[in-house]
Amino acid sequence: MPPPLLRKRPDMTINDRDEEARAILRANDRGGYTVPNGRVYPFQWNWDSAFVALGFDTFDRNRAWQELETLLGAQWENGFLPHIVFWQDDPGYFPGPAVWGTGRTPVTSGITQPPVAATVVRKLWDSAEAAGDGGAYRPRLAALFPKLLAWHRWFRDFRDPEQRGVVVAMHPWETGRDNSPEWDAPGEPIDISNVGDYVRRDTSHLDAKMRPTKLEYDRYLALVQFGRATGWDHGRISRKNPFRVADIGMSMILLRANRDLAVLARVLGDESAAAELDDLIERAERGISWLWDDKTGTWCSRDLVTGRHSGFITSTSFLSFYAGLADPARDAATLAHFDRIGASVPYLMPSLDPADPGFQMIRYWRGPVWAVVNYMIGTGLTEAGETDRGERVRGDTRTLIERNGLYEAFSPVDGTGSGGDDFSWTSAIWLAWARQPRS
């Protein structure tokens, strides 16, 4: 466990915080994989593990690679990579393995999560190479590559039914932004009348004010029941699921991940995979325009069923730079929103525009700042030459963690930590990115 009450000490230095972050990663390590937080999330989560690997890479390279190797060990034959792997049961979480009923070994959920893994593997590879460790890690890269490629093909085959070059989420949990208001209208047609009684576990660990509502949970479960009734037939789900939303976050993340995977294909000398990935990139670059909402001048998600844009400005609206998109008019409109929001709250980037009437500073994905999203926004801006804005996002992330601790998320208004403490991905982002001094 982390040194007791370390985070509460007023005279804590950056080095103490580093030590605490490493201690949290070690304490949440279950042997080859890391739980996001021991109480609230006691299993392996997909995109959490990818970010966690970046943290391990700052002090234990082998362990960083192992995190992803373990995750990819739970891949299905069709390339699908689950959002949760239940390596061992734990009564502290609902819905657990029995509710998902995927009938797999190891038991997994039946939905996926944002595909950041390929981008992280590229980072790990670059860092190994820079340290002169390329020779030792190349075989591990070569072993991970086909699995990542298979997963990206699965997205093409099962999460883009109209072949638009976007990612269509079949469950709010798939997007990693569970209760974003982007899912409210598309969630309305979900039939919740047969969900039955169930006991949530999240609200016994955390204040209900910080968590999704009962209506949202009913919809989450109805979608799990739907998927289960198909026997987790991803083809059928992609045609018939009652919730099908082209998610702006996953679409941007997959575009970026395909670029990084294409680089890795070339490192490995696999020209045919590189060409296949180039095609996917090109399709996405064209197709993602479908997610630009002229009315609000923003990138946002769009309901495949009704064709409606969500119209919400969320933190993922700012991932176009990370995705490597460049369009002068859209970039200017996006940066104008960035500056407006940046002037309205002390800490960027709130998960929902604070000017939105539904903004709630501590309710999960309806307000709070998430370090992992900041990492993607900040690095994207800096790579695109928007260094001041990139540094603003990084500096705010640093201040939030420095003053408040390694929480799941933070209020953009007063910095209060929300959700679980001792959080793995926040610790990882601290070590890998946020901790550097303000420039």
Q: Of 223, 207, 174, whose CA–CA distance to 368 is shortest?
A: 207
Q: Is 178 a catalytic residue?
A: yes
Binding segment for ligand GLC among 42-50, 159-167, 377-385, 392-400 (CB under 6 A)? Answer: 42-50
Is there binding between residue 47 and ligand GLC (CB under 6 A)? yes
**Shortest Å distance, C-beta 291 to ligand GLC:** 20
d(CA 292, CA 298): 6
Q: Find the binder of ligand GLC among 33, 43, 45, 155 (CB under 6 A).
A: 45
Nearest distance from C-beta of residue 175 to ligand GLC, angstroms: 8
| 69 noted as active-site residue | no
Q: For the CB of residue 155, give the shortest distance to ligand GLC in the complex, in Å.
A: 17
Contact string (CB under 6 A) for ligand GLC, positions 129-158, x = contact: ------------------------------
Total interface residues for ligand GLC by CB under 6 A: 7
Cβ at position 40, least distance to ligand GLC in Å: 8
- Using an 8 Å Cβ cutoff, are 79 and 151 in contact? yes
Task: Tell which one of 7, 34, 36, 85 touches ligand GLC (CB under 6 A).
Answer: 36
Give the nearer residue to ligand GLC in terms of CB position, either 36 or 110: 36
Catalytic residue among 178, 331, 356, 391: 178
Q: What track of x and - describes contact with ligand GLC for positions 172 through 211 (by CB under 6 A)?
A: ----x-x---------------------------------
- In angstroms, what is the minimal distance from the CB of 205 to ligand GLC? 12
Q: How far apart are CA 404 and CA 393, in angstroms?
A: 16
Interface pick for ligand GLC out of 24, 29, 41, 284 (rule CB under 6 A): 41
Distance CA 346, CA 6 (A): 26
User: Which residues are identified as catalytic?
Assistant: 178, 408
Q: Which residues bind ligand GLC (CB under 6 A)?
A: 36, 41, 45, 47-48, 176, 178
